[in-house]
Amino acid sequence: MATTTVDVVCPVCRKRRRVKVSDVQYSRGLTKVVVGPGSDCPHTLLVFVEPDLSVRRVQNIDQAGLTGTPEPRGMSLRGVVKVFGGLFTDMLACVLQHRTLVLCDDIDVSITLYNTLSRLFVEPVRLGVDVLIVGGCHEAPADAYVVNCKYFIRVRGDVDRSAHRSLDKFLREAITVDDNDAAVLFVRQKISALMRAADIFQDKIRSRTLARDALTLVEQSDNIKIRYEDIRAVLMILRARGRSDVAKRIVMGRLDEF
C-alpha cells in the first residue's frame, strides 16, 4: 500500500503539519484523517482530503477531548468492554502487534474509543499512525484491522489471538473495579509487565530455555511477576517485534498447557 503525504497548516498555531494518506483512502473520494498532536503543534486536527489530494478543510478538534484536558473524554473501560466485547480485545491485540487499527463510520465514537484504548498503553498509541479514524470504512488501508464504530462490528482484518486469553482476563478483572482510573491503570500495568518481560527475554535469553525458568529470570531481573499462562502473550509481543528467534527459544512444558 502506497502512502502519500499532504501538508496542511494548523488553523490554530499556523504550524505546518504532514498528513499521511494511503492510496486506498484517497482513491475512494473525500478522506477524513485525524492527526494527533505533533512536536511543533500541540493540536489535534481533522483533515479532509480530496481524491486529487487537495485539502478541502482542516479542523481543530481539541475540543472533542483528545488533548489539552486533564481528563480526556472517553467511555469508562467497563462501558467499552460492554459495548465492544471481544472486538475490544482484538483492538488491544492489534495495537500490541503494531497493526494499523482503523476506526470508522462514527467519528465521535471512534475518538471516544481511541481515548480509552490509548490510556491502556504506556507507550504512546499514535493517532494517524497506529490508529486511523476515517469516515467511511472503505477508506481504510487494505492490511488494517477495521472496526465500524457505528454498528460495533469488525469490517475486516484479523489479529493473532494468542494473547487473547491473557488480555480478556485482565479486562474481566479490571471491570470488577468501580473506579475507572483504577481499572485503566490495572490493565496498563498488566500490559506493561508483558512488554517488560518481552524486553528481558530479548536481552537475556540466548539459548533454549524452559518457560518456567524464563519467568524466574524476569522475576529476578525486574521483580515483575508474570503468570505462566501469560507467557504466550509475551511470545506474541516478541513475534510482533520481529523477534521470533527469541520466542522460539522459550520451551513451553507439555504438562503446563492450559
- Other Cβ atoms closer than 10 A to 63: 11
- Residue with Cβ nearer Zn ion (16 or 82): 16
Instruction: Tell me how far, at minimum, the Cβ of 66 lies from Zn ion, in Å.
Output: 13
Q: Cell 500500500, residue? A: 1
- Residue with Cβ nearer Zn ion (61 or 217): 61
Q: Which residues bind Zn ion (CB under 5 A)?
A: 10, 12-13, 41, 43
- Sheet containing 55-60: which strands, arranged edge to edge? 31-35, 45-49, 55-60
Q: Output the CA–CA distances (angstroms, integers) from residue 168 to 12, 91, 160, 224, in the order listed.
A: 41, 12, 14, 20
Instruction: Tell me how far, at minimum, the Cβ of 21 lies from Zn ion, in Å.
Output: 19
Instruction: Tell me how far, at minimum, the Cβ of 59 lies from Zn ion, in Å.
Output: 12
* Greatest alpha-carbon span in the chain: 62
Q: In 3-state terms, what secondary structure has residue 200?
A: helix
Q: Pairing relation of β-strands 101-104 and 3-9?
A: unpaired
What is the rounded CA–CA span in Å between residue 30 and residue 38? 24
Instruction: Tell me how far, at minimum, the Cβ of 226 lies from Zn ion, in Å.
Output: 41
- Residue with Cβ nearer Zn ion (11 or 124): 11
| DSSP secondary structure code for residue 32 in this structure | E
Instruction: Tell me how far, at minimum, the Cβ of 46 lies from Zn ion, in Å.
Output: 13
Q: Do residues 44 and 35 make contact, with C-beta atoms less than 8 angstroms apart?
A: yes
- Residue with Cβ nearer Zn ion (41 or 91): 41
Tell me which H or E stretch contains 9: strand 3-9
Instruction: Tell me how far, at minimum, the Cβ of 251 lies from Zn ion, in Å.
Output: 51
- Residue with Cβ nearer Zn ion (129 or 182): 129
Q: In 3-state terms, what secondary structure has residue 148?
A: strand
Using alpha carbons only, how large is the chain's radius of gyration in Å? 20
Q: Pairing relation of β-strands 145-148 and 101-104?
A: parallel
Instruction: Tell me how far, at minimum, the Cβ of 38 lies from Zn ion, in Å.
Output: 8
- Residue with Cβ nearer Zn ion (6 or 183): 6
- Residue with Cβ nearer Zn ion (14 or 208): 14
Residue 159 carries which side chain, given as an amino acid letter? V
